[in-house]
Amino acid sequence: MTIDPSVALACRLLGALIFATAAAGKLRHRRELAGVVANYRLLPEPLAAAAGWAILALEILTALSLASGTRLEAGTALAIALLCVFALAMGINLARGRREIDCGCFQSGLRQRLSVGLVVRNLLVSAALVPLFGVTSLPVGPLQWIDGLGAGLAAYALYRAFDQLLSLRHSSAELQKRFA
């Protein structure tokens, strides 16, 4: 499958920025990482710390692959797999009625409680990365670089805005409960 190189660049940049900021957040909050993984109650507690570090390592590998284009199909598959596993873990906990735990995305200064919006967000990002499968290296002109970088940055800005809105919605609801 051949897609426009600017679309491929936009998809790569979006994915790379998402996984790089997630990994950076996990590194900043590394003391909380095992607890966040344990809060999902999907693994035995003794495995939570190892799983947290494994997730961090996989996010770094994914960001590097998407940013550089090295082993792009493997990096794309890893990105989609991680996003789907995270969506599944959130979905399981939502089905259990466990909405109050932090998602563990670490991309916002605000705590993000589990929500259907986060599950949908992960699935939409997964879908946005699908065009990267089978990308062949085509010559990329200067205008395609500009288009791809601009579109990727715009998509990432929308992603971050959506995250902030979800975080603010939960914080606002919490404040209303507290002062009502």
Bridge partners of 102, per DSSP, are 113
Cα 129 to its chain centre, rounded Å, is 11
Per-residue pLDDT for 110 more than 60?
Answer: no
Q: What is the tens place of the pLDDT at every residue in 113-140?
A: 888 989 999 999 999 999 998 776 667 7
> What stretches of the chain adopt beta strand conformation (E)?
none
CA-based nearest residue to 20, from 100, 119, 107: 107
Does residue 31 carry a pLDDT above 70? Answer: yes
pLDDT tens digits for 147-169? 999 999 999 999 999 888 877 76
119 in Cβ contact with 91 (< 8 Å): yes
pLDDT tier for residue 175 given thresholds of 50, 70 and 90: low
